[in-house]
Amino acid sequence: MPLGKFVNDGYLISAKELEALLESKGIKKDKIIILTCRTGNQTGGPYPLLSTLGYRVTMHDYSWVGWNKEDYLPDEK
């Protein structure tokens, strides 16, 4: 889900709005949420918010740019 979904008029949406948004997408608190993006910068905002709300959340460090720098990790083009 794009980071823009967490923002309304330049402010983070409320916890209630976020929980409703995630529920509408079928995302439940008993499932692990893995945050990822191209560089890792976009995942830093949602991580503490989701964690504070009780979601099981983890973040893919360095995201896809970091993944592609590692020779031992698979990639497809």
pLDDT tens for 5-22 read 888 898 888 999 999 999
pLDDT bucket at 28, cuts 50 / 70 / 90: very high
Residue 40 predicted with pLDDT over 70: no
CATH of the domain at 17: 3.40.250.10
**What is the reported pTM?**
0.68
Does 30 map to a domain? Answer: yes
Does 13 map to a domain? Answer: yes
Residue 35 predicted with pLDDT over 80: yes
Does 45 map to a domain? Answer: yes
pLDDT tens for 42-77 read 777 788 889 999 999 988 776 777 777 777 777 666
Q: Where would I find the beta strands (DSSP E) of the chain?
A: 7-8, 11-12, 32-35, 56-59
Does 74 map to a domain? Answer: no
Does 77 map to a domain? Answer: no
Q: How many domains does the chain have?
A: 1
- Nearest in space to 45 (alpha carbons), one of 1, 67, 24, 74: 1
